[in-house]
Amino acid sequence: MLFFTQCFGAVLDLIHLRFQHYKAKRVFSAAGQLVCVVNPTHSLKYAPTRCAAAQASAEQGVLPPCHHHEAVHDPQLVPCTCPLFSCPWEGHLEVVVSHLRQTHRINILQGAEIVFLATDMHLPAPTDWIIMHSCLGHQFLLVLRKQEKYEGHPQFFATMMLIGTPTQADNFTYRLELNRNQRRLKWEATPRSILECVDSVISDGDCLVLNTSLAQLFSDNGSLAIGIAITTSKVHNPEAEM
């Protein structure tokens, strides 16, 4: 009986996920958009990244402790940028994508316009929904986070980060769009470089910010569909990066 109950529950979860994916495809297929269903990453104990810890220390006027090995630290190495994981990995920009896919199992979707369908919006904060978007010859990281910026008042923050340098990020513009029940909400901005902290982008509010009531207006049975479009904002000049 226990075995049957567990199997039956797994089948129901699979059917529910496929049903959500079918509904999203039915709504957005007319616009020629690809749909990716993104499950949440939830942590009962939030583990801030190293860049977030360094930023907090700087704001408090306290320098992080100096260790001997930091004296020979390669400044070109990038720490793991996957939120909600205290991952000790670091490497060059060229291998960030492979690390996120292999270690953290983050999906990547290709296309000029896609739909990011975040499930289980009711989960307590902090919770992240993460996906990589391959477009225009570059890879972008979309992070949707549910976080309590003020105690007892969770908010949703959505931002797009380019897996590249700040100079490369300036060449693009991203648009996030919510559209449901005759309501439409758009956010358009230049993506930030993955070399910057996701935590600092969210704390600065330089992203799409939704309170709980506004998120519920655009959600459907606990899922939130976000349309994503990336365009080039200016002609790319390779010499400007040298």
The ranges assigned to domains in the chain are 31-41+82-232
Q: Which of the listed CATH numbers 2.40.160.20, 3.40.50.300, 2.60.210.10, 1.20.1250.20 matches domain 31-41+82-232?
A: 2.60.210.10
Q: Could you give the percent of the chain with pLDDT greater than 70?
A: 67
Separation of alpha carbons 92 and 99, rounded Å: 10
For residue 10, is pLDDT > 90?
Answer: no
Burial class (CB in 10 A: 0-12, 13-18, 19+), 209: middle
Find the radius of gyration of the CA atoms of the chain: 19
pLDDT score of 109: 85
Separation of alpha carbons 110 and 34, rounded Å: 8
**CB contact at 8 A, 110 and 136:** no
Is the dihedral angle over the CA atoms 21, 199, 123, 87 positive or is it negative?
positive
Q: Tokens 């060059």 belong to which residue?
A: 92
pLDDT score of 184: 95
pLDDT tens column, 105-156 = 888 888 878 999 999 999 999 899 999 999 999 999 999 999 998 888 899 9
Separation of alpha carbons 215 and 208, rounded Å: 11
- Does this model's pTM top 0.75? My answer is no
pLDDT score of 235: 53
**CB contact at 8 A, 188 and 174:** yes
- Residue 58 binned pLDDT confidence (cut-offs 50, 70, 90): very low
